Amino acid sequence: MASLDPLCHSLGSLSTEWSQASVVAHPVRMLSTPSPVSVVWTSESKWTEQLPAFIPCKVPLSALCTRLCYVETVQFCAHRLLYVAHGMATNYAWRADRKCQHWVWIVLKGWAQDSAGERANTKDTALRNRKKCFYVPRNNYEVAIESIRHDLAEMKAKREQSLQMVTDLTAKLKSLEETKEEQRSEISSLRDRISEVVDQRDNLRQEFMETKKSLLECQREKEAVLETQKTVQSKLKEVQAENAEINRALQGLRQRCSGGCHFSFKQHISEMPTVFESISFFIYLLPVYRQSFNISLVFKK
């Protein structure tokens, strides 16, 4: 109770000095009972909406730092100035951003009774609240860790899939290389076959040229044979004419020798298919005629 007297005196003097700055006079009356003090950083327009049960008292921050005797430590952060003070049963903190370092809100909350049990309950409640403040980030961290583990599992599965894909692609590449080697061997064999076919074509072309030459020679021989045939036919006509003359001579001889000749000329004539149609038959009969009639014939070639 006695430890709050300097605080009450300081707050009372502050509210008296800055009454022109729309300072509420209720804090001095409220400090008749032991009350914890806390400073809340907020705007004046939203004050009643956020904390309707609190009574505000606006004072300069410099006066608060100089006149409140229980301010023990001051910590400087990167973006804000933190004032820490220790009270009866609870820790109190004053915060002010650099943008507005001259004014803070001092909030007074009345206590129903000042007892050790209430202070212990308040301390336990504050400790539980502080633990909750730590539990929430811990839960958030656990959720983040679980999400990271899930992401790592997905990345591991994707990595395994990628490795499997790489293995499959490597196997396909090997099979393609083998197929490429087989195709190369087939192409080489086809090239050999093509060279053989080209050689055969050249040989056939040469044979064709030779056959063409032989055909031309045969054509010439045919023409020569035709000429020979014409010559033979002309000679045959001459021989036939001579045969006709011989036949006429034989007719005369037959008429002459029809009386006393032992040689049956009619029999030989009847046996002949045609009279002296060929030279060979005439030559066959020539010795007989010579013996019978003593006739000598001279053949012209």
Once rounded to an integer, what is the mean pLDDT over residues 38-59? 38
* 88's tokens: 């009866």
The amino acid that residue 160 corresponds to is: E
The amino acid that residue 115 corresponds to is: S
Mean model confidence pLDDT for the chain: 62
**DSSP H helical segments within 68-115, as ranges?**
none
Identify any residues that bridge with 58 across adjacent strands, giving them in sequence order. 105
- Nearest Cα neighbor of 244 from 276, 269, 221, 217 is 276
Q: Give the whole-angstrom CA distance, residue 118 versus residue 111.
A: 9
Identify any residues that bridge with 277 across adjacent strands, giving them in sequence order. none
* 253's tokens: 């001889």
Once rounded to an integer, what is the mean pLDDT over residues 18-29? 33
pLDDT digits (tens, 9 = 90+) for 151-182: 899 999 999 999 999 999 999 999 999 999 99
The amino acid that residue 78 corresponds to is: A
Domain ranges of the chain: 2-114, 224-293
- CA atoms lying within 13 Å on the CB side of residue 174: 5
Query: With a threshold of 0.75, does the pTM exceed it?
Result: no
pLDDT the model gives residue 93: 36
CB 87, CB 37: distance < 8 Å: yes
pLDDT digits (tens, 9 = 90+) for 242-272: 888 888 888 888 888 775 444 454 555 554 4
Residue 27 has pLDDT above 90, yes or no: no
Residue 207 has pLDDT above 50, yes or no: yes
Helix axes 279-293, 116-256, angle to 10 degrees: 20
Phi and psi, residue 273, nearest 5°: -65, -40
In the chain, the largest separation of any two C-alpha atoms, in whole Å, equals: 209
Phi and psi, residue 16, nearest 5°: -75, -40
Residue 294 has pLDDT above 90, yes or no: no
